[in-house]
Structure 1
Amino acid sequence: MRILYVSVHEVLEYDELKMFTELGYECFSHGAYCRPHLGSRLRPPIPEMPYDPHFASLVDQSPKDDLHPDLIKDKDIIIIMHTPSIVINNWEKIKHKRVIWRSIGQSVAGVEQVLQPYRNQGLEIVRYSPRERMIPGYIGEDAVIRFYKDPTEYNGWIGNKSQIMALNQSMRERAIDCNYDVFQKTCSGYPFKLFGRGNEGVPESSGELTYEQLKQELRENRVFFYTGTQVTSYTLGFIEAFMTGIPIVSIGEKLGNHEFYKQQTFEIQEIIENGKEGFVSDDILELKIYLHNLLLDHGLAKTISENARNKAIQLFGKDNIKQQWNNYLSKGR
């Protein structure tokens, strides 16, 4: 079985292509991994994936919104990541195939609305969170399969650096969506570092991390402060932290769901049991107290870490997600 995977997010692309390949599918990506032996800017190569120079050349010439027929004709399954225009503009070329729309936490009412006609014609939908059912005008699902991380790769938290870390791109530019004001007020007075692309010039910025540096920082820092990204239920960065076991302090449902979007899709308050697997609050003073206590008490941090990692493996562990995808994709064989 051959999969055409149309990607708009190279980290998720890496994770899912790696997993589908391990499941025995021949995967071909219109994305960063059209040449899988080279890898991407953010993640390593996937040498197990087939490399077809002709396919890669067609990807270079063919925009996602106008896929070349040769990219499609010998594929059994087409998985399209999020962007509705890819479905809409290619529908007449792909509708005779098994087409799966993969959500990534960015859907809003307008996205659901424009995809409805294609849903009626057989478009399959795999959601990444059950909270997406709260999107106004929700058009349904065929499965809910979360993002994953490998617990053998994201592990080994020690927390020897008594400081706070956060991961977010262009945080000041996306201040409302990333709760930058809350981030600044909560972390003020404590040692903290903000990692991620596009934060140049921000006083908290500690630059962009390589893949290996990311895993090392998650192991060494004491606390991870999470302020979300509208309108996501959770992010890959959150999962990476949760799986590693670095204790997480997060905003809650009120701050996580901005009133502008009018949808209650933020999920962290349901993933983390407050006080057991991390700490969640919408009150800045409470958030500061949680950070303070974790910075001072490594024993507390260690207990939270162990509970968090167990929960992360249960919800986001590779083996569970791999089995869910295997069951789902096998239904169409």
Structure 2
Amino acid sequence: MEVEIIKILYLSVHEVLEYDELRLFTALGYECYSHGQYSRPHKGSKLRPPIPEMPFDPHFADMVERCSIDDLHPEMIEDKDIIIIMHSPTAIINNWEKFKNKRVIWRTIGQSNPLVENLLAPYREQGLEIIRYSPRERMIPDYIGEDDVIRFYKDPNEYNNWIGNKLNVMAINQAMLQRGIDSNYPLFHNVCKGIPTKLFGPQNEGLPENAGLLTYEQMKNELRENRAYFYTGTRIPSYTLAFIEAFMTGIPIVSVSELFGNHPFLHQRTFEIHEIIENGKDGFISDNPVELKRYLQELLNSHDLAKEISANAREKAIQLFGKENIKNKWQKFLTNKRGGK
């Protein structure tokens, strides 16, 4: 008896998250096609390697290059069973008549707000399914609900072996100065004065903490080798990719809390790190610059403290963001005939 292969059309706005989820869906036995960096999966992307297990359809890849995410060619849709849209509300709105008879899933990434929720409310009424990436999204005004909460993930076998032998504080963030209050650069700069600090990521040139760009393998090595990670968030997400990678690796994290984590001008309290990290057990949390600096210095001064924090952090990271847990959640959700409100 021939096994039915279910085809997924994945509309992406973030190549690293795209890479992770396409690998997961492919491992679950789905035939995936991406409108994103992995339309040609054998080539990979600038930030992540190829996914050779994914099928490659040259005709589909050519259509991706010709058609924007907001105006899909009907041929890209007709043989697909499930459409998963990463964040983009316009991709749902502009293509709805083309794929409304399919199973359509909106996959959030922490960028929703009341405007987005209201824009998608009519499509929710027509059967749009919703997978949230954090339970804190329920704090968004005019929230239109969820079918499940499934976090993004990291593989504990890949992000591991923290040793903390380099007496540095590190962070991974892009364009920190240009993004102003969204990335809390003034706080980051003031707290890190007098502390050996490495800021990795693009568009940080000229900043005293700038340590340049990292390859995929270099990034994992820096997370393993540096003593502590200073997390200042990127308002408005509940948590970011960088947080998951650091938490899973086990590098001790010192993080801002609700005051600096939530946006001061938006009425949604979606920041979640203070609910994930138990202060003093699996990391440190504060909105007091003096306390943040003290926590970082304590970790630099005591490898034993850092090792204790690391072990607890990694245990919790595997519970929340571990690949197998997330894989099981997706398998359960996708094998249901159709989600509900």
Which of 308, 312, 320 is the equivalent residue of 1:307?
312
Corresponding position: 1:66 with 2:71? yes
**Structure 1 residue ranges (4+ consecutive) displaced by more than 3 angstroms after TM superposition:** none
Match of 1:161 in 2: 166
State the distance in 1 between where 2:124 and 2:205 align.
41
RMSD of the alignment, in Å?
0.7
State the distance in 1 between where 2:161 and 2:132 align.
30
Aligned partner of residue 130 in structure 2, secondary structure: strand
Match of 2:201 in 1: 196
Cα deviation, residue 199, structure 1:
1.2
Which stretches in structure 1 are left out of the alignment for 5+ residues?
none
Which stretches in structure 2 are left out of the alignment for 5+ residues?
1-5
Identity %, equivalent residues? 69
State the distance in 2 between where 1:265 and 1:58 align.
37
- Cα deviation digits, residues 152-196 of structure 1 (max 9, x gap): 000000000001000111111112100111101111110001001
Corresponding position: 1:173 with 2:182? no
Aligned partner of residue 240 in structure 1, secondary structure: helix
Which of 19, 26, 38 is the equivalent residue of 2:24?
19
State the distance in 2 between where 1:255 and 1:206 align.
24
State the distance in 2 between where 1:218 and 1:144 align.
27
- Cα deviation digits, residues 115-141 of structure 1 (max 9, x gap): 001011100000000000000100000
Match of 1:268 in 2: 273
- Cα deviation digits, residues 82-132 of structure 1 (max 9, x gap): 011000000000101000000000001110010001011100000000000
- Cα deviation digits, residues 12-67 of structure 1 (max 9, x gap): 00000000000000000000000000000000000000000000000000100000
Cα deviation, residue 203, structure 1:
2.1
State the distance in 2 between where 1:126 and 1:86 align.
16
Match of 1:98 in 2: 103
Q: Which amino acid aligns with 1:28?
A: Y
Match of 1:141 in 2: 146
State the distance in 2 between where 1:200 and 1:22 align.
39
Cα deviation, residue 10, structure 1:
0.2
TM-score, structure 2 length as denominator?
Answer: 0.97
Q: Which amino acid aligns with 2:182?
A: D
Q: Which amino acid aligns with 2:261?
A: G
State the distance in 2 between where 1:130 and 1:2 align.
28
State the distance in 2 between where 1:227 and 1:111 align.
25
Match of 1:132 in 2: 137
Match of 2:54 in 1: 49
Aligned partner of residue 65 in structure 1, secondary structure: coil
Aligned partner of residue 210 in structure 2, secondary structure: coil
State the distance in 1 between where 2:153 and 2:238 align.
14
State the distance in 2 between where 1:195 and 1:30 align.
28
Q: Which amino acid aligns with 1:5?
A: Y
Cα deviation, residue 204, structure 1:
1.3
Match of 1:279 in 2: 284
State the distance in 2 between where 1:204 and 1:259 align.
26
Q: Which amino acid aligns with 1:302?
A: K
Structure 2 counterparts to residues 237-252 of structure 1, below 5 A: 237-252=242-257
Cα deviation, residue 197, structure 1:
1.3
Match of 1:328 in 2: 333
Aligned partner of residue 70 in structure 2, secondary structure: helix
State the distance in 1 between where 2:174 and 2:145 align.
30
Aligned partner of residue 198 in structure 2, secondary structure: strand
Match of 2:3 in 1: none
State the distance in 2 between where 1:200 and 1:36 align.
32
State the distance in 2 between where 1:199 and 1:108 align.
27
Corresponding position: 1:34 with 2:39? yes
Q: Which amino acid aligns with 1:223?
A: A
